[in-house]
């Protein structure tokens, strides 16, 4: 029986150095092959001209540089495109390309489904199926670029799943996004969104990776958060989450973002804005308000525009830095909270 080829996508420079040492090669080969894989996007070893022919033959026989299979894609009226990736085991994940004037952002998934089951999120209705590998996370990035012929400038880990519950794969992916020999985005162009898991935030910090941190809060107190995000609320109270996020912000020298999904008649009153202001005012953070992107069957509605205007006006008057996210792709179920790998994509 022929052994399976070793997949090189998803291996960091240190992983590749160990691999080359195992096969009797010098560690500097790791940087060489990273550039061929990610800068030149080669999938064939033969053109890798700075490596000796015997090594290229050996790699061709034992290794692979794969790609995820795109099962479908659909574009929205505002320019966003959602791609459905079919994985080797038959599972599927969705990722989104979000264009803007000066950037091309990839919203990537880190899990198939999600265990947290937030009451307003489509992904939560799937339940948790499995973690993605580093190759599958990075593979979404490569797949978007190649399928849409774009040069991505930013990554947000805001798709399906909770990134901090898959740090074993997320950290290598972050390494490859930031490594100058690989995808070379740097830390400042990568954002990780989480419900807030204090111990995992500290673990991320200890890893040396420094993506921008976004905390999905969506409630100004623990009681309301327990109603909206019951599993997340059981992990840690809001105060503990914000302390961990503040440590991260102070040690990485960049503010964290508080993501607040506005739900009509649930968390969008001026009383909620007042509580949120008191909670955040002294912290190294900014607020990103998100008009709810409606999901059929979940029972929530987006607030009226004047409600949103009053809410952000209150926050800004209180001294917070606050913005409203201009979500894209809502008409193709590609906006924040709408990914679920259920929608037919042609």
CA gap 29, 51 in Å, rounded: 8
Residue 208 region by backbone torsions, left for phi larger than 0, else alpha for psi between -120 and 50, else beta:
left
pTM of the model: 0.94
**Structural domains of the chain ordered from first start:** 6-64 (1.10.150.530), 69-332 (3.20.20.70)
| Catalytic residue selected from 25, 94, 259, 294 | 94
Q: What is the pLDDT of residue 77?
A: 87
**Positions in the chain whose pLDDT score sits under 50:** 329, 332-335, 343-346
Per-residue CA distances from 70 to 67, 127, 153 (Å): 9, 23, 21
| Catalytic residue selected from 107, 121, 285, 336 | 336
CA gap 293, 114 in Å, rounded: 18
C-alpha Rg value of the chain to the nearest Å: 21
Q: What is the pLDDT of residue 336?
A: 62
Residue 336 CB contacts under 8 Å (≥ 6 apart), including other chains = 158, 261, 290, 293, 325, 327
CA gap 196, 236 in Å, rounded: 8
Active site residue 94: yes
Whether 105 and 97 have beta carbons less than 8 Å apart is answered as yes
Q: What is the pLDDT of residue 153?
A: 98
pLDDT tens digits, residue range 70-88? 999 999 888 899 999 999 9
- Return the percentage of the chain with pLDDT > 90, whole number: 86
Residue 264 CB contacts under 8 Å (≥ 6 apart), including other chains = 292, 300, 301, 302, 303, 304, 307
Active site residue 61: no
Which has the closest alpha carbon to 66: 131, 12, 7?
7
């Amino acid at each position: 029986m022929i052994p399976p080829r070793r997949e090189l996508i998803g291996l960091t420079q240190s992983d590749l150095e160990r691999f080359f040492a195992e096969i009797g090669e010098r560690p500097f080969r790791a940087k060489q092959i990273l550039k061929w894989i990610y800068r030149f996007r080669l999938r064939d070893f033969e053109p890798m001209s700075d490596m000796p022919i015997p090594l290229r033959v050996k790699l061709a026989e034992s290794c692979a540089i794969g790609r995820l299979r795109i099962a479908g894609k659909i574009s929205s009226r505002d320019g966003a495109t959602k791609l459905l990736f079919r994985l080797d085991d038959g599972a599927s994940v969705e990722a989104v390309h979000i264009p803007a004037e000066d950037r091309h952002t990839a919203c990537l998934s880190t899990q198939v489904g999600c265990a947290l089951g937030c009451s307003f999120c489509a992904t939560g209705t799937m339940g948790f199926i499995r973690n993605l590998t580093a190759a599958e996370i990075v593979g979404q990035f490569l797949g978007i670029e190649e399928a849409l012929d774009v040069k991505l400038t930013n990554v947000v880990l805001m798709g399906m799943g909770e990134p901090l519950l898959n740090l074993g794969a997320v950290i290598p992916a972050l390494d490859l996004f930031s490594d100058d020999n690989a995808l070379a985005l740097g830390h400042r162009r990568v954002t990780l969104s989480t419900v807030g898991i204090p111990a995992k935030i500290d673990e991320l910090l200890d890893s040396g990776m420094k993506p921008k941190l976004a905390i999905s809060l969506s409630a100004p107190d623990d009681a309301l958060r327990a109603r909206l995000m019951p599993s997340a609320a059981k992990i840690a109270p809001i105060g503990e989450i914000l302390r961990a996020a503040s440590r991260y912000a102070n040690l990485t020298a960049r503010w964290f973002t508080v993501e607040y999904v506005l739900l009509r008649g649930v968390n969008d009153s001026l009383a909620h804005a007042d509580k949120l202001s008191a909670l955040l005012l002294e912290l190294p953070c900014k607020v990103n308000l998100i008009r709810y992107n409606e999901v059929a069957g979940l029972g929530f509605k987006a607030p009226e525009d004047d409600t949103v205007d009053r809410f952000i006006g209150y926050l800004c008057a209180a001294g917070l830095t606050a913005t409203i996210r201009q979500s894209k792709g809502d008409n193709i179920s590609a906006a924040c909270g709408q990914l679920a790998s259920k929608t037919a994509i042609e």
